[in-house]
Structure 1
Amino acid sequence: MKSKATGIQYISNNGGLIDLDIKVQRDAAGKILSGLVLGATLEQNMTCIMIAEPGDFKDNLSLGVGIRSALLDEDLLEYRRKIKEQFPLDGLNVKHLDLYNLSKFSIDAEYES
């Protein structure tokens, strides 16, 4: 299985929009040598899974926690369960999950080796 720990980077604009991180590198003749920024993807993949609603990912329609809905909910138990259920679908092992308050929470996860 190909590792998901490294890949194309995203950049967050001030408006909350997420886009590809592109830094164009050209040679002396002006030909584009590279453009997409590659790097560690663990944090951005976890964020995407947290934000996504089921059905957002075309290759895995059941993947997504839908944390935006938690803003209207007082019980975060369902979202802790969803995280522990959804992260392994992308190959992530949840080592620690502290989600009892939306203003301060932490998730420690890593990709399977």
Structure 2
Amino acid sequence: MPYDILLDENFNPVLSNGDFTIGESTYQHQKMLLYADKGQFKADPLVGVGSRRFLETSKQNDFAREIRQQFYADGMTVNKIEIKENFEINIDAQY
């Protein structure tokens, strides 16, 4: 389980007593990978699923494949990915 600086739902650092809050961050890392487009991380421009571009297509298999590849590249073990018709995503993956 990775521990990192925690971010709120808008990706702003969570502060406690004037300092960063540290905690378990698996879900946070998954969310960032799903939202990020390729090129948004300067240190590694190939990182990011870019989920917005899959909203305009019905290629759920391509979407699931991209999620799996990005999560594996980040060091996660992906057990299951389920993408429903309304693009509700259920992912079972951990470090």
- Distance in 2 of aligned mates of 1:72 and 1:24: 43
Supply the distance in 2 between the matched residues of 1:103 and 1:9 (Cα, whole angstroms). 26
Question: CA–CA distance in 1 between the matches of 2:46 and 2:79?
Answer: 22
Partner of 1:44 in structure 2? 28
RMSD: 1.5
Cα shift at 1:100:
3.4
Greater strand fraction, Structure 1 or Structure 2 = 1
Give the paired residue count: 95
Q: Which has the larger radius of gyration?
A: 1
Please give the alpha-carbon distance, in whole angstroms, between the structure 2 residues aligned to 1:22 and 1:44.
Answer: 16
For 1:20, the equivalent position in structure 2 comes to 13
Quote the offset at 1:101 in angstroms.
Answer: 2.8
Partner in structure 2 of residue 32 of structure 1? none
TM-score by length of 1: 0.76
**Separation in 2 of the partners of 1:100 and 1:37?**
34
Q: Any stretches of 5+ residues in structure 2 without a counterpart?
A: none
TM, length-normalised to structure 2: 0.89
Give the distance between the partners of 1:82 and 1:110, measured in 2 at CA.
16
Q: Report what 1:107 is aligned to.
A: 91
Match of 1:96 in 2: 80
Equivalent residue, structure 1, for 2:7: 10
Whole-Å separation in 1 of the counterparts to 2:86 and 2:23? 28
- Structure 1 residue runs without a partner (length 5+): 26-34
- Aligned residues with identical type, % of pairs: 24
User: Aligned match of 1:83 in 56, 60, 67?
Assistant: 67
SS of the aligned residue for 2:77 comes to strand
